[in-house]
Structure 1
């Protein structure tokens, strides 16, 4: 298989009847162009040029060969130029995995403007709590918490994953707020039952001073779904422990109140995950830059930090 550099050196030399002129056009030395043409002649087993002090003249075989490859070389170079020009343009299908509640509240609202900015992109968004395998599943990125950072993966933190104890104003009316997690024993609790094991998840809370304490729980309602716990808390059924990201709107509207304002459960972070590549696809880079910039400009990490 002949190299492109040899063919290009031949065609440009034939067009200008000069190795020197071809070299200036190609950004090579005349000697390099001459060597490329000589190698092409050896590979083909024919002489393509008659060389003289007056310049280059195509042989009969050279003329036929130029007619065969000249137009094809231009097409190849046009294709290379087009691919190079579009290499930095985000295009194609972007496959993304997002956690359901977080995705609906904070990621999907960003997508209309993202799609408007990159019209050549199509989105394939999988809304699921499962921690996907980016490589095996063919995902470009994933947004969620609790991913194991395997070799070759990168995590960009978006927000802290803090859970807070909340209840409705109606439930708290006439009750004195507890001063620490142990005092929750006097309150009716909406407990989270693990969907996998069926066990009640304990509340290990901490404060900004770094002190930790396990809450004394007196569960009266048992649920295995955070959305249901939020609904039960809004209905005044007791105190629930929920991610701040899931209840921030209710706290800001006053529909819910923090029961232990100084205390929270630290569950790690919600991050944007993608595979580390030397030549990251433009679509992935566009998503990473867009989402991280949007979260920073909206100050979501500060808004969703319980401490």
Structure 2
């Protein structure tokens, strides 16, 4: 068991490049983690890390050993967690990342039903519009769109990630009509900055019949959040380009209306992401299956589609 603990200390330290950060995630002291790894090195007769004051670097032997043991470690940990589940039911802390407003609007309202089914699971939910390092930061799952898929992570599609143009009735009544995409040149744009890059992306509009046209809307102002852009557009301040999950509520209440309703931007899919394991922890499997079920039952796939 001591060797297993040492291997866990080694793998966590290799993942984050620091005894101190590994210790924080394992609820140990940095000295204890360093001592445990040193014992493992002595037992194996090889040095696994090159140590410096700034960072740990794997030796060639360390890289080989990590490749051999990391997958098996995760499988064993997941097997132990599943067997230790309360009464055979999924249990444990469920660490999930999701966008702030999206999570509050659509995922948090599912929480009561989730906990009714799985009372032994303790949610640890993080709200952030940036992509997280799912494995390195110890997340069980993440929900979002437009993320790069790193090695060891899989994605299950939940809904289209469509963006649409919206404006208030007052704004549209007071300005030049928008009949074709090129008419957007004459209007004030409310555009979204990418939370990953801080830049305003260049977009291509897609017609229902699959024609394409560049988005010529010029930025009058920029926001870092679609909900903020919807609030701004509802004040009659311009045409906003926003994600459908945020626009849908305003459209249903009549606070905003679609501009060029036959056109939209296809930004891929909103998905649920989780680490790929031969034996997925019961809590993670329960959450993934539950979210997919709820998106279907609540009609969110259709609601988030612009076509």
Q: TM-score, normalised by structure 2?
A: 0.68
Q: Distance in 2 between matches of 1:153 and 1:194?
A: 22
Map of 1:248 onto structure 2: 248
Map of 1:297 onto structure 2: 297
The structural deviation recorded for 1:201 is: 3.4
Map of 1:64 onto structure 2: none
Mean Cα deviation higher: 121-130 or 148-157: 148-157
The structural deviation recorded for 1:85 is: 8.3
* Structure 1: stretches of 5+ with no match in the other structure: 1-79
Map of 1:204 onto structure 2: 204
Structure 1 pair 160–222 and aligned structure 2 pair: CA distance change class (3 A): same
Map of 1:102 onto structure 2: 102
For residue 135 of structure 2, give the secondary structure of its aligned residue in structure 1: helix
Structure 1 position 181 matched with structure 2 position 181:
yes
The structural deviation recorded for 1:215 is: 2.3
Q: Distance in 2 between matches of 1:266 and 1:109?
A: 26
The structural deviation recorded for 1:237 is: 0.5
**Residues 62-94 of structure 1 deviation map (CA, whole Å, 9 limit, x = unaligned):** xxxxxxxxxxxxxxxxxx9x9488584111111
Q: Distance in 2 between matches of 1:221 and 1:201?
A: 14
Structure 1 pair 88–181 and aligned structure 2 pair: CA distance change class (3 A): farther
Map of 2:268 onto structure 1: 268
**Residues 175-228 of structure 1 deviation map (CA, whole Å, 9 limit, x = unaligned):** 564232111123222233556766543342111222111122244334444333
Larger Rg: 1
Map of 2:30 onto structure 1: none
Is this contact kept in 1: 2:99–2:129, CA < 8 A? yes
**Residues 105-154 of structure 1 deviation map (CA, whole Å, 9 limit, x = unaligned):** 11111011111211111000011112112211111111111222223322
How well do the aligned residues superpose, as a CA RMSD in angstroms?
Answer: 2.4
Q: Distance in 1 between matches of 2:196 and 2:287?
A: 33
Aligned residues: 227
Map of 1:232 onto structure 2: 232
The structural deviation recorded for 1:302 is: 1.0
The structural deviation recorded for 1:278 is: 1.9
Q: Distance in 1 between matches of 2:95 and 2:220?
A: 42
Q: Distance in 1 between matches of 2:145 and 2:153?
A: 14
Mean Cα deviation higher: 127-136 or 188-197: 188-197
* Structure 2: stretches of 5+ with no match in the other structure: 1-79
Map of 2:171 onto structure 1: 171
Structure 1 pair 265–83 and aligned structure 2 pair: CA distance change class (3 A): closer
Q: Distance in 1 between matches of 2:150 and 2:87?
A: 28
Q: Distance in 2 between matches of 1:197 and 1:144?
A: 16
Structure 1 pair 207–90 and aligned structure 2 pair: CA distance change class (3 A): same
